[in-house]
């Protein structure tokens, strides 16, 4: 495909985008099956998957796909034209300014893997790093550049060492999920002494992890990752300030 190199560059730079590929095209449309384009989060389109009218429908669907991470099979039909036989699961739009020729376009969002910033060298930190990899997280140790900047989630599991400083750094970096591994009582004391705003306190999860009765380090790491995945998939992370 003509945009393979550009896609590789965007992936390397951790830039989210949608790859749009024309699956079917009906005359007199100017595109052919296999034509593709890249749509960025600002709505700009690199490539050609139809004229101005088709582009507007593709842009709208692509931005929605970037938001929820789901692939879309988009059918763009001119007004009054039945177009192609129905495709199960396709999203159908009727574009009133489309001059003719139905289009079917596959939109695939490519989002950078979430970054997990891990503070501490405890057994829980080691277990987090081991379990996060298969879940497609990029694990960034606390001492690695650029720190919490750009991280999706941060987990502080240093058992009392530098906890307020690490939590503050993650909050100031805009990390949406900040987990503190501590008992409920000790965690509450740490956070109370920090004087967090209501918005900041909402982003800090203490004790980190879902209540699954975890006891061992791997079980605790599992509960934390389950909580992070939950807030990512439900959209709570985006509302909190992360990706």
pLDDT tens for the chain, 243 residues long, are 567 889 999 988 889 999 999 998 887 778 889 999 999 999 999 999 888 878 888 999 999 999 888 899 998 887 665 555 566 556 666 555 556 678 899 999 998 899 999 999 999 999 999 999 999 899 999 888 889 998 999 999 998 899 999 999 999 999 999 999 999 999 999 999 999 999 999 999 999 999 999 999 999 999 999 999 999 888 766 433 333
Say if domain 115-240 classifies as CATH 1.20.120.1200.
no
Contact assessment for residue 27 and residue 102, using Cβ atoms and an 8 Å cutoff: no
Task: Determine the longest span between alpha carbons in the chain, in angstroms.
Answer: 69
Predicted TM-score (pTM) of the model is 0.71
- Give the C-alpha separation, 59 to 65, whole Å: 10
Which of 152, 116, 147 lies closest to 134 in space, CA to CA? Answer: 116
Contact 237/231 with Cβ under 8 angstroms?
Answer: yes
Q: Rounded distance, CA 71 to CA 109, Å?
A: 6
Read off the tokens for 84: 């192609």
Residue boundaries of the structural domains of the chain: 4-110, 115-240
In degrees, rounded to 5, the angle at the alpha carbon of residue 217 between the alpha carbons of residues 215 and 223 is 70
Give me 117's structure tokens: 């910033």
Distance, in Å, from the CA atom of 113 to the CA atom of 14, rounded to the nearest integer, reads 8
Q: Cβ neighbours of residue 50 under 8 Å, at least 6 residues apart?
A: 22, 29, 30, 31, 58, 76, 103, 105
3-class DSSP state of 32:
coil
């Amino acid at each position: 495909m003509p945009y393979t190199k550009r896609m590789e560059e965007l992936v390397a730079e951790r830039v989210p985008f949608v790859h749009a590929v024309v699956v079917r095209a009906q005359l007199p449309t100017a595109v052919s099956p296999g034509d593709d384009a890249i749509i960025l989060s600002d709505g700009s389109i690199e490539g050609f998957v139809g004229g101005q009218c088709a582009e507007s429908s593709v842009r709208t669907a692509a931005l929605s796909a970037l938001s929820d991470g789901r692939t879309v099979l988009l059918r763009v039909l001119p007004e009054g034209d039945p177009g192609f036989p129905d495709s199960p699961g396709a999203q159908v739009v009727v574009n009133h300014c489309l001059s003719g020729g139905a289009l079917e376009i596959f939109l695939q969002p490519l989002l950078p893997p979430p970054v997990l910033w891990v503070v501490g060298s405890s057994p829980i930190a080691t277990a987090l790093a081991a379990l996060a990899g298969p879940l497609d997280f990029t694990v960034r140790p606390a001492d690695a550049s650029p720190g919490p900047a750009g991280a999706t989630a941060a987990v502080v599991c240093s058992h009392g060492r530098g906890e307020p400083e690490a939590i503050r750094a993650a909050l100031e970096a805009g990390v949406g999920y900040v987990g503190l591994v501590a008992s409920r009582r000790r965690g509450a004391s740490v956070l109370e002494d920090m004087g967090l705003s209501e918005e900041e306190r909402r982003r800090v999860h203490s004790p980190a992890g879902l209540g699954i009765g975890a006891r061992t380090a791997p079980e605790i790491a599992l509960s934390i990752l389950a909580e992070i995945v939950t807030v990512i998939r439900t959209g709570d992370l985006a509302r909190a300030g992360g990706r």
